[in-house]
């Protein structure tokens, strides 16, 4: 019986093991099915549908599976601008595509430069005698920027449109910090570093107000010029300067008011819009629901269209988001990660390199790591072009300096050459709650930084000196890269931000143009004609579980939040306010040491907060040396 029992237990164990193996194989197959790349076979003759239910970004961020599991939600969808432009450019010459449809009902924007890139691609589709139609419940600045290039702009009868223009409210914490007895110690170089003012003032200084106001005025003028050129009938003055009369004339019907002002062409629900598209693209015989039409979605279309691999390779390295130390990214510019990508490409026989920058700055050390990696390519005697996106400020400008030629758009925000630090100490808070301290020191730096007892004058002097030293380094590097005298650079620096037009006049950039212009220039300098080269984006990969996680955690509630018309914009502003508070708190409390960040630069993505950093007495100087510049 004992032997029979052992045999039985062995058989049961084998059975359980096989069941576990088959179960694992089943879930692996299910995972592979859900996360697999789209099938090119899904491309059909008809319309190309771009359902932009999120942000247009420079670089798509990876979904952190553990964070998604803990929060039970994935970030909003992100659409890299180069993928949209590639799809539209191909659609212009693709005989299978007879029209393009942009569903902007849940679109969250993406910045002036990105909108102009996509808008120009839409114009190329229309130049091929193909219709482009847009639909939304509510239009705002970025969605109107895209819609202005369309042949037909539709709005839901319950929808509306708002033209806001650049600008908004800045938050200031000086009185709050006083009430909490927190001492915000500021170390800065440059009179225009507005990033420190939220912690030391109750309003903008006049210098910062003039500087930021001038940039906003330029951005506003460029937006109007771009939109009016694409859609001359748009009466922006009526919407922004006589809004009361505008709404009264339409009996407060926001959709009708939008059409009266030339912002949209047609009023109709989604079914009516779909029926109109079906007149152009054809009716979908497989789906009998109202408002359906023959269409191909973006992902399978991108999977289907061929990528040119003829001729020599021109590399493109993307530096997007905050520049930080380490391996972070994509969509955050981890210095070690980007330098690694550049070094890996040293053996790839690149004919030229294009550096695409869309960053408000970050760590000095990470910026320098990236700059040196770019210089290693320059040492191979290949052309280096820099293409600036929405923002290339401070650390973003630092990494742009090695370029042989710098391209930007008039709407690009750049400059902000300066550094600062804000370090909180709590001696006042300790006194308020009855916590006393007493110190024994062998040197003025013993026990420093003392966040409870306060800093010694010698440490204050050291930190200000380090800040000045970083600023001097920045000035010298810019002067060398741009062929200017350091004194001239200093007059352009001081933390001042510039729009692309002013930056070109001041010699901080070389010419207007997008990334296509930068690629063409670099290829020409490498002696390559059209058709003799192709582009390679260094390190561009997407996790196979990214789409699976997004399918699992993007809920209908999240979708509904961005699909509630004009009032939905109010809800999104509340979310933006919360993100700003969290970002500012993290910069003050979670990153002690030397810092600088372009608070005046508009945030264009859903990633706004810094990760916390732990501090010990042993590594304080190392942390203080990790300046964040903007």
DSSP 318-372: EEES-EESSS--SSSEEHHHHHHHHHHGGGS--SEEEEEEEE--EEHHHHHHHHH
Q: Which residue has the higher pLDDT, 199 or 568?
A: 199
What pLDDT digit, counting tens, does each position of 63-77 carry?
766 565 565 565 678
pLDDT tens readout for residues 435-450: 888 888 888 888 888 8
Which residue is it, tokens 């579980």? 545
Buried b (16+ CB within 10 A) or exposed e, 164-202: eebeeebebbeeebeeeebbbbbbbbbebbbbbbbbbbe
Average pLDDT value for residue range 266-273: 95
The angle subtended at Cα 233 by Cα 228 and Cα 235, nearest 5°, is: 80
CATH number assigned to the domain with residue range 42-167+232-304, chosen from the 4 options 3.30.70.20, 3.90.226.10, 3.40.640.10, 3.30.465.10 = 3.90.226.10
d(CA 139, CA 52): 13
Q: Comparing 8-17, 328-337, 472-481, 616-625, which segment has the lowest mean pLDDT?
A: 616-625
- Token pair of 378 as six digits: 């320059």
More confident residue, 306 or 518: 518
Tell me the two tokens of residue 36: 């697999």
pLDDT tens, residue by residue, 130-150? 999 999 999 999 999 999 999
Are the beta carbons of 604 and 329 closer than 8 angstroms? no
Query: Which uninterrupted H or E stretch holds 434?
Result: none
Q: Quick count: other Cβ atoms within 10 Å of Cβ 311? A: 15
User: What average pLDDT does the segment 47-76 reach?
Assistant: 78
Work out the percent of the chain whose per-residue pLDDT is above 90.
50
In whole angstroms, give the CA distance from residue 457 to residue 479.
Answer: 33
Look at residue 324 in the predicted model and tell me its pLDDT. 87
Closest to 262 (Cα-Cα) out of 346, 169, 163, 114: 163
Residue entry with tokens 């939040």: 561
Pairing of strands 131-139, 152-161: parallel
Mean pLDDT across 35-51 = 73
Identify the band that residue 11 occupies on the pLDDT scale cut at 50, 70 and 90: low
Tell me, what's the pLDDT at 566? 61
- Is the pLDDT confidence value at 609 over 60? no
Sign of the four-CA dihedral 603, 606, 608, 613: negative
> Using 50, 70 and 90 to split pLDDT, how confident is the model at 218?
very high
Other CB atoms within a 10 A radius of the CB of residue 18 amount to: 10
615: pLDDT confidence band, cut at 50, 70 and 90? Answer: very low
Lowest mean pLDDT among 68-72, 191-195, 461-465, 552-556: 552-556
DSSP-derived letter for residue 40 is G
Confidence of residue 320 (pLDDT cuts 50, 70, 90): very high
Residue 3 pLDDT:
59
The pLDDT value given to residue 438: 86
* Coil, helix or strand at residue 487: helix
Q: CA–CA separation, 200 vs 202, rounded Å? A: 7
Contact indicator for 157, 267 with CB cutoff of 8 Å: yes
The pLDDT value given to residue 629: 46
pLDDT of residue 123: 97
pLDDT at position 578: 63
**Do the strands 152-161 and 333-334 form a parallel or antiparallel pair, or are they unpaired?**
unpaired
- The mean pLDDT of 207-218, rounded to a whole number, is 90
- Of 420 and 91, which is predicted with more confidence? 91
Instruction: Express each pLDDT in 490-538 by its tens digit.
Output: 999 988 899 999 999 999 999 999 999 999 999 999 999 988 999 999 9
- DSSP states of 84-98: HHHHHHHHHH-TTEE
Helix axes 546-553, 2-35, angle to 10 degrees: 90
| Average pLDDT, integer, range 594-608 | 52
Question: What pLDDT does residue 193 have?
Answer: 65
* 202 and 174 Cβ atoms separated by less than 8 Å: yes
Instruction: For the chain, give the percent of residues with pLDDT over 70.
Output: 78
The pLDDT value given to residue 37 = 43
Q: What's the pLDDT band for 627 if we cut at 50, 70, 90?
A: very low
Where does 157-196 have alpha helices with state H?
A: 174-179
608-615 contact pairs (CB < 8 A, 24+):
608/579, 608/580, 608/582, 608/583, 609/579, 609/582, 609/583, 610/322, 610/583, 610/586, 611/586, 612/586
What are the residue ranges spanned by the domains of the chain? 42-167+232-304
Query: In this model, does residue 5 exceed pLDDT 80?
Result: no
Taking each helix axis from N to C terminus, what angle separates 112-127 and 206-230, rounded to the nearest 10 degrees? 10
Q: What is the pTM of this model?
A: 0.83
Q: Residue 187's pLDDT band (boundaries 50, 70, 90)?
A: confident
200 contacts 172 by C-beta, under 8 angstroms: no
pLDDT, position 142 = 94
pLDDT tens-digit series, residues 274-297: 999 999 999 887 777 888 899 999
pLDDT number for residue 567? 60
Pairing of strands 46-51, 97-103: parallel
Among 487, 496, 301, 539, residue whose Cα is nearest residue 393: 496
CB 321 within 8 A of CB 331: yes
H-type helices in 94-205, by residue range? Answer: 112-127, 141-147, 174-179
Q: Locate tokens 């912690």: which residue? A: 199
Token pair, residue 86, equals 């590639």
CA atoms of 230 and 223, how far apart (whole Å): 11
Average pLDDT of the chain is 83
* DSSP assignment string, 45-84: SEEEEEE--EEEESSPPPP-HHHHHHHT-PPPEEEEHHHH
By the 10 Å C-beta count (0-12 exposed, 13-18 middle, 19+ buried), 119 is classed as: buried
Mean pLDDT of the region 114-132: 96
Residue 291: the pLDDT is: 86
- Encode pLDDT of 405-427 as tens digits: 999 999 999 999 988 878 888 88
Rounded to whole angstroms, the Cα distance separating 61 from 321 reads: 10
Opening angle at CA 513, ends 507 and 356, nearest 5? 85
């Amino acid at each position: 019986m004992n032997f029979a029992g052992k045999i039985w237990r062995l058989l049961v164990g084998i059975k359980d093991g096989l069941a576990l193996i088959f179960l694992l194989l089943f879930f692996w197959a299910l995972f592979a099915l859900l996360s697999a790349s789209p099938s090119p076979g899904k491309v059909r003759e008809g319309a190309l549908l771009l359902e932009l239910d999120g942000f247009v970004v420079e670089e798509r961020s990876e979904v952190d599976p553990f964070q998604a599991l803990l929060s039970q939600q994935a970030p909003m969808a992100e659409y890299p601008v180069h993928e949209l432009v590639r799809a539209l450019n191909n659609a212009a010459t693709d005989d299978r595509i007879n029209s393009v449809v942009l569903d902007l009902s849940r679109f969250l924007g993406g910045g002036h430069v990105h909108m102009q890139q996509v808008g120009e691609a839409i114009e190329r589709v229309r130049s091929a005698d193909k219709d482009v139609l847009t639909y939304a419940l509510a239009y705002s600045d970025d969605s109107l920027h895209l819609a202005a290039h369309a042949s037909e702009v539709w709005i839901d009868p319950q929808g509306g449109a708002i033209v806001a223009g650049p600008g908004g409210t800045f938050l200031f914490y000086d009185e709050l910090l006083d009430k909490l007895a927190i001492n915000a110690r500021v170390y800065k170089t440059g009179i225009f570093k507005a990033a420190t003012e939220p912690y030391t003032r109750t309003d903008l200084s006049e210098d910062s107000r003039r500087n930021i106001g001038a940039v906003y005025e330029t951005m506003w003028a460029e937006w109007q010029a771009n939109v009016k050129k694409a859609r001359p009938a748009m009466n922006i003055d009526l919407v922004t300067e006589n809004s009361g009369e505008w709404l009264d004339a339409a009996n407060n019907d926001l959709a009708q008011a939008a059409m009266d002002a030339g912002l949209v062409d047609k009023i109709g629900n989604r079914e009516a819009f779909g029926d109109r598209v079906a007149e152009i693209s054809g009716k979908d015989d497989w789906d009998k629901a109202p408002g359906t039409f023959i269409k191909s979605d973006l992902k399978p279309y991108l999977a289907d269209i061929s990528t040119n691999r003829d001729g020599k390779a021109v590399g493109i390295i993307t530096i997007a988001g905050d520049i930080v130390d380490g391996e972070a990214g994509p969509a955050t510019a981890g210095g070690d990660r980007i330098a690694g990508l550049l070094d890996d490409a040293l053996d790839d026989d690149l004919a030229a390199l294009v550096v695409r920058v869309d960053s408000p700055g970050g760590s000095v050390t990470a910026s320098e790591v990236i700059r040196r990696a770019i210089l290693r390519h320059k040492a191979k005697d290949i052309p280096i072009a820099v293409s600036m996106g929405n923002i290339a400020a401070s650390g973003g400008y630092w990494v742009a300096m090695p370029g042989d030629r710098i391209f930007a758009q008039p709407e690009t925000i750049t400059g902000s050459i300066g550094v600062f630090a804000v370090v909180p100490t709590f001696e006042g808070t300790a006194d308020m709650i009855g916590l006393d301290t007493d110190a024994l020191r062998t040197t003025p730096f013993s026990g420093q930084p003392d966040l409870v007892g306060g800093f010694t004058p010698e440490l204050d002097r050291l930190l200000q000196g380090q800040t000045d030293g970083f600023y001097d380094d920045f000035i010298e590097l810019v002067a060398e890269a741009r062929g200017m005298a350091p004194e001239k650079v200093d007059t352009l620096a001081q933390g001042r931000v510039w729009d692309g037009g002013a930056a070109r006049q001041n010699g901080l950039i070389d010419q207007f143009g997008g990334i296509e212009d930068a690629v063409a220039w670099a290829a020409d300098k490498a002696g390559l004609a059209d058709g003799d080269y192709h582009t390679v984006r260094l390190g561009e990969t997407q996790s196979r579980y990214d789409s699976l996680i997004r399918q699992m955690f993007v809920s209908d509630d999240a979708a509904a939040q961005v699909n509630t018309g004009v009032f939905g914009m109010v809800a999104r502003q509340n979310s933006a306010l919360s993100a700003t508070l969290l970002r500012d708190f993290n910069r003050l409390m979670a990153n002690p040491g030397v810092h600088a960040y372009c608070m005046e630069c508009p945030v264009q993505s859903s990633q706004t907060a810094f990760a916390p950093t732990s501090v010990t007495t042993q590594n304080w100087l190392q942390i203080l040396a990790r300046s964040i510049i903007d």
